[in-house]
Amino acid sequence: MDDATAVAQARAGDSEGFRLLVERHSRALFKLAYRMTGNEHDAEDVVQEAFLKAYRSLDRFEERAQVGSWLYRIAANCAFDVLRKRQRRDGRLESLDGDDAPEPQAEAPGPDRLALGGDVRRHLDAALERMSPRERAAFVLRHFEGRSVKEIELALGMDTTAVKQSVCRAVRKAREVLLPLTGAVS
Amino acid sequence: MTHLSDDDLVLLHYREDEGSEAEAHLAGCAGCADRLRALGRTLALVQAPEAPERGEDYGARVWARLRPRLELKEARPKVVPIRGRLWPRAVSVAALAAALILAFLLGRRFPEEPQPLSAEVRERVLLVAVGDHLERSQMVLVELVNAPVDEAMNVRAQRALADELVSANRLYRQTAVRSGELALAAVLEELERVLVEVAAGPDALTPGDLAELQRRIESRGLLFRVRVIGSHVREREKELPRTSSAS
């Protein structure tokens, strides 16, 4: 049974259709959620919430749309919610998204102290942690997932300018952290 | 000549600015082209984190956890929001289960049953009922914890469910204490405090009230503890031998 048929079946009240969608798409959504949240437990929650939201909005699904893309957008949005919630919990302010926000001070160990591989990962993790939820979500979708600005707009409910600004700020933060490593590999 | 900004270069790198003046400038400016290549080298280092592996059965496990949270609309033409319909049914099931457990624990029999229920059957019924109770309680906690705190939240549905869950929770907690299940009793006690607070609260929570409630739930790790103990209860339920009739 293909996705469109499974959706139609679920809409008609047959749980088997929705079960198929869950079983078919869970792994992809988990991978996306993990990339966005960087946390296994949060990623599991995102998968659950995404399918719950999808189930509740089955009637709003447009038949011409791709089921996978629809679920992907819902999951990305759920992961974005987790990032925003995490930021609130950490007591940081949304205003850090603003142009006048202080730029984070990048750790800058010299290239001689850095072994490529694990250190790149560690520095990148630090860079991701320093990004605001918008920046991180937009960057992950653009850079890791290869999604276009248009697709990111739809997934995160942001306008074109906000998506582009978020990606650019995220890249700036990543570059600051990774700058010491670029000499070592070039 | 005005050179390209860093942001221009980022958009060019991601091919989001094709056909623009920036791209035209790049064609004739070796300096900006060098900067774009340098940016590319840096971003090439940025690899996606490796997600923990999930096996082929992952989807089935997600479905198993998800299914109790869905209002499966068997043979119904329209999807109705979960808040509107699942909970009254959940409430009645919880109330019935609580009544059954109480009756069993007091050593009563169903009028139709000629024989008393065995200890195994009683334990299975208790575990199933407590497992369901914990899952429904999780629904309340998850919805509260995941709600955005930048706006007021209508919690009428959560409040109604919490109100019904309180009495069942009290019964299960007392049962757990009597049977020496102290870890379960401790979680149920924490849970009861939150349920009572939600049940006794207003239908609409201000952003401040909601944030405070979320802080209390999270500071005690309550959702996590409910999940863990719920999972433990389900495991015990599976381990019990299946019996089709009372002995």
Using alpha carbons, select from B154, B166, B172 the residue that is nearest to residue B197.
B166
User: B11: number of CA atoms within 13 Å, CB side?
Assistant: 21
pLDDT at position A12 over 90: no
Across the interface, do B41 and A185 touch by the CB < 8 Å criterion? Answer: yes
Query: What pLDDT, in 10s, does the model give residues A51-61?
Result: 999 998 888 88
Handedness of CA A54, A43, A35, A20 (dihedral sign): negative
Q: Tell me, what DSSP letter sits at residue A144?
A: I
> In whole angstroms, what is the distance from residue A144 CA to residue A136 CA?
11
To the question of pTM greater than 0.80 for the whole model, the response is no
CB B198 within 8 A of CB B221: no
Query: Is the per-residue pLDDT at A22 higher than 50?
Result: yes
How far apart are alpha carbons A56 and B90 in whole angstroms? 18
Q: In chain B, pLDDT over 70 holds for what percent of residues?
A: 75
List the alpha helices (DSSP H) in B45-181.
58-66, 82-105, 119-146, 156-178
**DSSP assignment, residue B245?**
S
Write down the pLDDT at residue B151: 77
CB contact under 8 A, B14 and A142: yes
CA-based nearest residue to B90, from B153, B138, B144, B155: B138
Q: Which of B29, B2, B30, B24 is nearest to B12 (CA)?
A: B24
pLDDT at A70 over 70: yes
Which of the four pLDDT bands, split at 50, 70 and 90, describes residue A118? low
Tell me which architecture the domain covering A3-89 has in CATH.
Orthogonal Bundle (1.10)
A5 token code pair:
């048929």
- Alpha helix stretches (DSSP H) within chain A: 3-11, 15-37, 40-56, 67-89, 118-130, 133-139, 149-156, 160-185
pLDDT > 90? residue A32 = yes
Which of A19, A81, A143 minimises the CB distance to B46?
A: A143
Domain with CATH 1.10.10.10 in chain A: 101-185
Q: What is the pLDDT of residues B64-82, one digit of tens each?
A: 888 877 765 443 333 333 3
Give the A:B interface size as CB pairs under 8 Å: 127
3-state secondary structure of B204: strand
Quote the CA–CA distance of B2 and A9 in Å, as a whole number: 58
Reported confidence tier of residue A91, pLDDT bands at 50, 70, 90: low
Q: Do B73 and A13 touch (CB under 8 A)?
A: yes
Helix axes A67-89, A149-156, angle to 10 degrees: 60
Q: Please report the pLDDT score of residue B104 as a whole number.
A: 52
| Confidence check: pLDDT of B23 > 50 | yes
Q: How far is A154 from chain B (nearest CA, A)?
A: 16
- The CATH number of domain A101-185, selected from 3.40.1280.10, 1.10.10.10, 1.20.1110.10, 3.40.390.10: 1.10.10.10
Residue B91 pLDDT:
47
Answer yes or no: do B66 and A144 touch at CB < 8 A: no
Residue B212's identity, in one-letter code, is: E
Put simply, whether A115 touches B (Cβ < 8 Å) is: no
